[in-house]
Structure 1
Amino acid sequence: MNSDIRTARRFDTGEVVDVRFAGGAITEISPHSDRSGDAAEAPDVKSGLPWISPGWIDLQVNGYAGFDFNADPITVRDVLGVTEQMNRYGVTAYLPTVITGSYERMKQAVGLIGQVCDEQESATASIVGIHVEGPYLSREDGPRGAHPREHVREPDYGEWQRLQEASGNRIRMITIAPEREGMAGFVKRLAEEGIIVCIGHTAADPHELDAAVAAGAVLSTHLGNGSHPTLARHPNYIWHQLGEDRLWASFIPDGHHLAPAVLKSMIRAKRDRFVLVTDCVALGGMPPGTYRSLVGGEVEVHANGRLSTAHNPNILAGSGVTMPECVANAVRMAGLTLREAVEAVTVRPATVLGRPDLGRLVPGAAADLTLFHTHADGSLTVAETIVKGKTAFKRQYEG
């Protein structure tokens, strides 16, 4: 079997290594040696060698660059377009996110994603499940966020089963609001099926939150967002989830969803039980202006990249951030090391997904690899994205 090799600096140790892979899996990782057989010295900044890490994982992707998982209807072009954009920005595994809508729209979306995964290799390689955000969320302004009020509803296990069947059993994650009637029992049934149940877009009280966690909820979706603009100082549902050690939390480090000091404080509270997500939407990467979108209705794309509902600039309508920006912002805003920030988009989301083959730079793991450069201004650029041993993106440099 033919093998391939990349020489780069490990993201976690800085060691220059040769990473060999074949058949879609990593076969060997060894210290790099020059032709004379002597171990190469660690390169200086001018060496040009990229960093190498496990492929980055994003648990929440609504769309990007005009491609939309919440269009009505979504198309094959949307699925392949988002996948290509994710690969371009270093993401090798992600969950398309379908938000609250009518049953018919949600069924069409999850069904089409499943169909494309059956038929298209690039989608199969990168899509590791579907995240359904809703429709069983809060009806209140603020916690509901940009989810359409007319379509949020009480949990319906029969509806859930039909959506899962339409997806080809690809729905892996769901975000719910614990205060909806009968939710504890609903969470328990889904957790027993192996579904990752997340808490989000909620105004639940402590008892309701505790009941959801006891029933099997494991993660807080974009904690600190999807909430009332004004909250009681304490207790409140953000503090309660932040202090619940059984819950993981996802954060959107775009500088808009959470102020830098808030992001730093929340990350410190969660310690090693947090992941970074983009929560990017179809309007991400688009020029400033007002657009019509299912996520938020009339949405304003601001010059600084912030996305808000046009009628209320305090209500965010998803994000336009990319994963390299997430990693760089986590280092710059929250004081994380590069290793910690990369682990929050590799091994930690892989752990949440229950996928030991992903997110790890070890022999036997999937040959999902992200090679990237860091720059003096703190930014990151992706040099190459390898998915299951095949180059999905490679940056072309002039000269």
Structure 2
Amino acid sequence: MPRSVTKVNGIHYKTKQPVTIHIEHGRIQSLHPLDAEIRQAALPWVAPGLVDLQINGYFGADFNTIPIAEGAVERATRGLWRQGVTTYFPTVITNGDAEIEQAMRSIAAACAADPVSAAAAPGIHLEGPFISPEDGPRGAHDRSFTKAPDWPLFQRWQEAAQGRIKIVTLSPEWPGSAEFIERCVEQGVIVSIGHTAASPEQIAEAVQAGARMSTHLGNGAHLSLPRHPNYIWEQLSRDELAACVIADGFHLPDSVLKVTLRAKGEKALLVSDAVYLSGMEPGLYENHIGGRVVLTPEGRLHLAEHPGLLAGSAQLLPWGISHLLDSGLAELDTAWEMASLRPSALLNLPSQSGLAPGAPADLVLFELKRPQGVKIIQTYKLGERVFDSASPAKEANA
């Protein structure tokens, strides 16, 4: 079972000073400098829990195989603790109308039945089907299901989700997109531009209507684009848009990551976009999207018949943070906040306060070694230790 704790010791990820974090009733009560007799060198780092806005599945639990297997949400929630992820948004991609509705009902029902999953998954990310039908921008999404934004249909899905859809990825190239975006904003749903072939004018109209994010910017795009204008430059230049990037070292070159981080500043966010094969052993797998795929020992997931084509992401946020650090693209505090405080702030979650009195005690203790990167030692959700690397099997089944 999870273990309630009253204090946690560690090296603060931002100040780099040893601290004691006191916890009461699942929240941070206070922070104090650590007693001098405890050696700093023996302590792990301590940071806010990681927040992933785009999780398609994890370790065999898939949110896009319909019907969603019983227990998939619960297994993903508990499995992600091993990766330091205390908050995530189950992501449902382009599919048939009935299939999306069924996925929404399944996820909502799982959260209603399991308070642990409800606390970890405060919303659902609907990625499609209101995206570009063009090859390239569409990515691996099924073209036959792509369509223009449909408000009554979205309301049907939202009802099935019990109001849990909090992010919608769409392409504003469709007629009626601006009105749809405005209605989403009125209901408190974040609209993200992604899988798009939209013109600069259409992107400008979407931003004016209230779009506030870009989904895995730089991916889900044509292989070749006009040098300018194009929809990547347009999104980079829009200060209103936060930019999510997949920093696994496979989806984007470091040069693109560097430009994105510089252009977006504090609005640059990390996502994993992890598929259900994440956390699995390297090998050959049969995937319902893309057919046969290979997960390499290096962590890259590609089509078996076309090794040059990625088949999704198989790495979680600690991997992305490690890549930013090893590449010299960001310091620890910036990289960590790209995957914790910044997405929390965008979604207006209580965890946006980080390691501050009154904030939820969603914490991660970790080691930082080179070249291995970030190693999660312990994860805490609302003050309860839900993962401990010293006894992973026991904690994962809590």
TM-score scaled by length of structure 1:
0.93
* Structure 1 counterpart of 2:313: 319
**Residue number in structure 1 paired with 2:11:** 9
Deviates more, 1:186-195 or 1:311-320: 311-320
CA distance in 2, matches of 1:345, 1:4: 25
1:65 matches 2:59: yes
- Correspondence for 1:104: 98
- Offset from partner CA, 1:305-348 (integer Å, 9 cap, x none): 22234454444332001221111111122521101111111110
- Aligned CA distance change for structure 1 residues 76 and 141 (closer, same or farther; 3 Å): same
State how many pairs are aligned. Answer: 389
1:262 is aligned to 256
User: What are the Cα deviations for residues 116-164 of structure 1, in whole angstroms up to 9, with x where unaligned?
Assistant: 1111122022111100100100101110001111111111111100111
Cα distance in structure 2, aligned partners of 1:98 and 1:22: 36
How has the CA–CA distance of structure 1 residues 73 and 247 changed in structure 2, closer, same or farther, with 3 Å as cutoff?
Answer: same
- CA deviations over 1:187-208 (Å, ceiling 9, x no partner): 1110111100000000111001
One-letter amino acid matched to 2:40: P
Offset of 1:292 from its aligned partner?
Answer: 3.2
CA drift at 1:296: 3.2
Quote the Cα distance in structure 2 between the aligned partners of 1:359 and 1:70: 32
How many Å separate the matches in 2 of 1:168 and 1:213? 27
2:345 to 324, 347, 351: 351
Q: How does 1:104-143 map to 2 (within 5 A)?
A: 104-143=98-137
Question: Gapped runs of 5+ residues in structure 1?
Answer: 34-38
Question: Given that residues 263 and 333 in structure 1 are in contact (C-alpha distance below 8 angstroms), is that contact kept between their aligned partners in structure 2?
Answer: no
Specify which of 9, 33, 37 is matched with residue 31 of structure 1: 33
Higher mean C-alpha deviation, range 356-365 or range 266-275: 356-365
Give the counterpart letter for 1:26 in structure 2. Answer: I
How do 1:121-270 and structure 2 match up within 5 A?
121-270=115-264
Given the two structures, how large is their TM-score scaled by the length of structure 2? 0.93
Which amino acid in structure 2 is aligned with residue 7 of structure 1?
A: N
Which has the higher mean CA deviation after the structures are superposed, 203-212 or 110-119?
Answer: 110-119
1:87-122 per-residue CA deviation (whole Å, 9 max, x = no partner) reads 110000010000010111111111111111111122
Deviation by residue 1:251-273 (Cα, 9 ceiling, x = unmatched): 10111110122212211111111
Which residue number in structure 1 is paired with residue 21 of structure 2?
19
Q: 1-side partners of 2:391 and 2:112: how far apart?
A: 35
CA pair 310-230 structure 1, distance change in 2 beyond 3 A = farther
Which of 280, 283, 293 pairs up with 2:274?
280
Structure 2 residue matching 1:118: 3-state secondary structure: helix
Preserved CA contact (<8 Å) 1:145 1:317? no
Which has the larger displacement, 207-216 or 265-274? 265-274
Q: Distance in 2 between matches of 1:294 and 1:125?
A: 29
Structure 1 position 357, deviation (Å): 3.8
| CA–CA distance in structure 1, aligned partners of residues 351 and 278 of structure 2 | 30
Alpha-carbon separation, structure 2, partners of 1:314 and 1:205: 28
The alpha-carbon distance between structure 1 residues 3 and 279, as it changes in their structure 2 partners (threshold 3 A), is closer
Residue 22 of structure 1 aligns to which amino acid in structure 2?
Answer: E
Any unmatched runs of 5+ in structure 2?
A: 393-398
- Aligned AA for 2:116? S
- Quick check: 194-203 or 278-287, which moved more? 278-287
Give percent identity, aligned residues only: 42
Q: 1:228 and 1:359 mapped to 2: Cα distance?
A: 38
Hey, what's the Cα distance between the residues in 1 that align with 2:91 and 2:328?
26
> What is the distance in 2 between the residues matched to 1:261 and 1:318?
21
The code of the aligned residue for 2:314 comes to G
Question: 1:392 deviation in Å?
Answer: 1.2
* Alignment-mate amino acid for residue 63 of structure 1: G
Instruction: Tell me, yes or no, if the aligned pair for 1:200 and 1:220 is still in contact at 8 Å.
Output: yes
* Match of residue 36 from structure 1: none
1:381 aligns with 375
* Residue range with higher mean Cα deviation, 256-265 or 136-145: 256-265
Cα separation, partners in 2 of 1:315 and 1:174, compared to 1, 3 Å: farther
Partner of 2:333: 339
Counterpart amino acid of 1:205? S
Whether the 8 Å contact between 2:93 and 2:141 is mirrored in structure 1 is yes
The answer for the alignment partner of 1:53 in structure 2 is: 47
Q: 2:5, 2:385 within 8 Å by CA — same for their partners in 1? A: no
CA–CA distance in 1 between the matches of 2:309 and 2:138? 10
Q: SS where residue 40 of structure 2 aligns?
A: coil
